[in-house]
Amino acid sequence: MKKHQIRIVGGAYRRTPISVPEGEHLRPTPDRVRETLFNWLAHFWDGTFTGRRVLDLFAGTGALGFEAASRGVEIAQLVEQAVPALAGLRAVQARLKAPAIRIHTGEACAFLRAQPAPSYDLVMLDPPFGANWLPRLLPLLDRALLPGGLLYLESEAPLDALPPEWTLLRQGRAGQVHYGLTRFAATQKNMNNGRFGPS
């Protein structure tokens, strides 16, 4: 199977290649978008990633989670259920030997439901498009994300219908992909009444 590569764009593991198998329907976040996201995070986190805990719920190639580990977060928790993607994640983890990286095999909603208490400063959501994931995920995020924490998301739809519990801080577009950084309010009551994504 042919492969192409992306690279970690910043931090301690900068330029580390990550293989992307063709035909596995992986859609890694482009270099330019990742650089933009981590510039945003540096702004809101006063230039330091030390002590931050981040969760990448649809890890895929691991581009977002490995980028976070490269910048120095305390924990970069990657969640993935596809066997080929998991093999790629573990290969990069073994190469980097980064203590921050954790890999969990499983489904995103099940992972959130199993969280004993909120503990993450950032959740990154880049779910498969066309599967209506966001309305299912948003009501569960308070199980993992600390009040006032940040949510990064990518969507095929504009980010103009977020529930009122979220404040859109930054947004951009790369081709057909809309992406943005939002802040999580202290409560998510009635989140199911919020409309987001395709109906």
The per-residue pLDDT for range 82-111, each reduced to its tens digit, is 998 899 999 999 999 999 999 999 999 999
Residue 30: the pLDDT is 82
Q: What's the pTM value of the predicted model, to 2 decimals?
A: 0.88
Query: pLDDT class for 179, splitting at 50, 70, 90?
Result: very high
Instruction: Summarize the confidence of residues 116-131 as an average pLDDT.
Output: 91
Check residues 157 and 57 and name the one with the higher pLDDT.
Answer: 57
Average the pLDDT over 109-122 and give the result.
96
> Which among 116, 145, 10 has a CA at the least distance from the CA of 71?
10
Degrees, nearest 5: CA angle 52-96-77: 35
Phi, psi of 139 (to 5 degrees): -70, -15
Look up residue 96 and give its DSSP letter.
Answer: H
Write down the pLDDT at residue 3: 58
Give the range among 39-43, 81-85, 127-131 with minimum mean pLDDT.
127-131
CA 190 to chain centre: 24
- Position 26 confidence tier, pLDDT thresholds 50, 70, 90: low
Tell whether the model's pLDDT for residue 130 goes beyond 90.
no
Per-domain boundaries in the chain: 3-193
| Crossing angle (nearest 10°) for helices 31-44 and 63-71 | 40
Does the domain at residues 3-193 carry the CATH identifier 3.40.630.30?
no
Helix-strand-coil percent breakdown of the chain, rounded to 5?
30, 30, 40
User: Which amino acid is present at 177?
Assistant: V
Enclosing H/E stretch for 66 = helix 63-71
